[in-house]
């Protein structure tokens, strides 16, 4: 499989980076650019869209002070750790796409968590040889992978930041000390997680619940001095205390001494962690080039397969009709079948080179019958010189993640998806922040019928993800930044946003507001309480089995059109887009 960096020729750099970017974008200006997308937040100078107003404002404050998109990303992530602790933070991992406005180049950073060096394929097997159930594996230290988010932030900031590292921590430190207001979303999440292990451990119980055992109510003001102290140390000394110093010791102690499922992480595991700069996965879609992350996330490849199949159908002419959604569902089934069979950490597993091969995707698209559902799809056989027998992995990821998109005055752009896996991660806290349960993204069963599962546990391996931070190019210029949380449904959510905005010409905010239609090679999910439910009868007539359910995405998107930015925040979260 060819993974490549997209590079543009340097154009008149003597003009200055900010002037250059303004001239490139303004050159596509059109008369209707200000009125075409009235429901989105607009700007021409900079933009941040994230899952919480305090996080978006922290990023905008950095941009207004002359910082880059990467400077702002550090501030946004740290604030999200505080105010949306159930979804992401320095105890987890992330994938980042960075468009370098000066070099006109797309770069990607892999800050995915990894398994301890001592982990084996039998990591989640019980004494009888059967795998643990997912709910019993999550709480405690066993599910915690070596965190990568903080090192990703430092690595990318070293490459693309201009503001002093310590200045990017100020907003989160001040907010942690003065307190923040619990949102309705966070309060509800705490209440629901009470029965899923959030009260098991003293640190989380004391932080998220009142003395009488009731969950913190919306409107409660919470301070987090332990997190503020952690941030002060990291601001002053960088990531060293986290990976080799006193914070590292606290993490290891927290992981290895849990009363439920003690883990195996060591100080050596933390000290050995490295961020990997990988080649982006880019693929054509109509007049665009869609770019995302490659393995260990399956996001870019699976999106590429879905869109590659859909490129053979005239979705723009069809609009968001039941017939169009039928094609979307069938393409998703086929792509998820390949995902389960082949995709995992490519540093450990040989990946087929032909997953995005045009002829292969055409052959897969030919399997779609526009008039009836295929039922469950089987994995294909892409062009591959080293074909191996494998057993498909059906391990789903849970929806405890966040995404943000940022553009600065210099033309730099960040599309970053960040996670601690399920809501509240492992339920274990250290130094004021939650630790991930990312190792439960591995297949619990290492093999079946004598065939290995690509996503089995191995020492130092990174578990497969569905995170899909995306930057879309047209004529070698960025036109769309998007991404979402949502576990294994992320791929559907992000692909839907691309189709809605680029094929159907929707206002970005309207695209994020629309009901979700999701298929992961099983039953089709329609989002309850939305217009998507109106598709049920027509889709059932085409042979689809339907579930109507809550689908809690968190898309945060910026469209670049006609010399302006049009940004949107998913109404299912507490997000806000702020720009100038």
**Residues annotated catalytic, as ranges:** 401
Q: How far is residue 168 CA from its own chain's centroid?
A: 22
Peptide bond into 394 cis (omega under 30): no
Largest CA distance in the chain: 69
- The bridge status of strand 556-561 relative to strand 564-569 is antiparallel
Inter-CA distances, 251 with 136, 230, 256, 267, Å? 21, 12, 9, 9
Q: Rounded to whole angstroms, how far apart are CA atoms 399 and 419?
A: 9
235 and 166 Cβ atoms separated by less than 8 Å: yes
Q: Rounded to whole angstroms, how far apart are CA atoms 271 and 539?
A: 52
Q: Rounded to whole angstroms, how far apart are CA atoms 275 and 280?
A: 15
Q: Rounded to whole angstroms, how far apart are CA atoms 40 and 219?
A: 28
Q: How would you classify residue 129: left for phi > 0, otherwise alpha for psi between -120 and 50, otherwise beta?
A: left
568 and 545 Cβ atoms separated by less than 8 Å: no
67 and 45 Cβ atoms separated by less than 8 Å: no
Q: Rounded to whole angstroms, how far apart are CA atoms 235 and 244?
A: 15
Pull the structure tokens for residue 237: 């000394």
């Amino acid at each position: 499989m060819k993974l490549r960096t997209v590079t543009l020729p340097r154009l008149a750099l003597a003009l200055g980076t900010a002037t250059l970017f303004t001239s490139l974008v303004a050159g596509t200006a059109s008369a209707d650019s200000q009125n075409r997308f009235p429901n989105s937040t607009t700007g021409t100078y900079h933009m941040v869209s994230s899952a919480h107003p305090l996080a978006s404002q922290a990023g905008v404050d950095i941009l207004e002070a002359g910082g880059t998109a990467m400077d702002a990303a550090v501030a946004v992530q740290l604030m999200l750790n505080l105010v949306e602790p159930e979804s992401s933070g320095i105890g987890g991992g992330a994938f980042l796409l960075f468009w370098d406005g000066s070099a006109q180049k797309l770069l990607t950073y892999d800050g995915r968590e990894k398994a301890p060096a001592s982990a084996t394929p039998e990591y989640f097997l019980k004494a009888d040889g059967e795998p643990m159930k997912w709910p019993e594996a999550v709480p405690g230290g066993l599910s915690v992978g070596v965190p990568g988010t903080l090192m990703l932030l430092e690595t990318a900031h070293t490459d693309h930041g201009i503001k002093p590292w310590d200045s990017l921590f100020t907003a989160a430190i001040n907010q942690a000390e003065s307190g923040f207001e619990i949102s309705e979303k966070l309060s509800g999440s705490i209440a629901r997680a009470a029965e899923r292990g959030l009260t098991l451990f003293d640190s989380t119980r004391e932080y998220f619940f009142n003395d009488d055992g009731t969950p913190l109510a919306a409107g409660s003001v919470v301070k987090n001095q332990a997190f503020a102290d952690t941030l002060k140390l990291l601001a002053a000394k960088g990531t060293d205390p986290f990976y080799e110093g006193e914070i590292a010791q606290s993490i290891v102690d927290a992981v290895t001494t849990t009363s439920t499922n003690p883990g195996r992480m060591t100080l050596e595991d933390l000290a050995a962690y490295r961020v990997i700069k990988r080649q982006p996965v880019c693929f054509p879609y109509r007049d665009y080039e869609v770019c995302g992350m490659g393995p260990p996330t399956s996001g870019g490849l699976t999106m590429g397969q879905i869109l590659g199949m859909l490129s053979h159908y005239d979705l723009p002419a069809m609009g968001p009709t039941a017939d169009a959604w039928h094609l979307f569902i069938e393409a998703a089934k086929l792509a998820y079948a390949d995902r389960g069979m082949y995709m995992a950490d490519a540093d450990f597993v040989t990946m087929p080179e032909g997953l995005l091969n045009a002829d292969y995707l055409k052959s897969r698209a030919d399997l779609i019958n526009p008039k009836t559902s295929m039922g469950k799809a089987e994995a294909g056989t892409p062009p591959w010189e080293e074909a191996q027998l494998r057993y498909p992995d059906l391990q789903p990821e849970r929806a405890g993640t966040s995404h943000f998109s940022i553009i600065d005055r210099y033309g730099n752009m960040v599309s970053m998806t960040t996670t601690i896996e399920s809501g509240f991660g492992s339920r274990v806290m250290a130094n004021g922040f939650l630790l991930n349960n990312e190792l439960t993204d591995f297949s619990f069963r290492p093999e079946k019928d004598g065939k290995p599962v690509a996503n089995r546990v191995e020492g130092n391996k990174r578990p497969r993800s569905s995170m899909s931070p995306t930057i879309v190019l047209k004529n070698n210029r960025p036109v769309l930044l998007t991404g979402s949380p949502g576990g294994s449904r992320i791929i559907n959510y992000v692909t839907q946003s691309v189709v809605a905005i680029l094929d159907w010409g929707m206002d970005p905010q309207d695209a994020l507001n629309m009901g979700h239609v999701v298929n992961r090679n099983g039953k089709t999910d329609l989002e309850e309480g939305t217009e998507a439910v109106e598709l049920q009868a027509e889709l059932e007539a085409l042979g689809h089995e339907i579930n109507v359910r809550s689908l809690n995405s968190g898309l945060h998107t910026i469209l670049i059109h006609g010399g302006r930015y049009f940004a949107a925040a998913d109404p299912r979260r507490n997000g806000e887009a702020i720009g100038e």
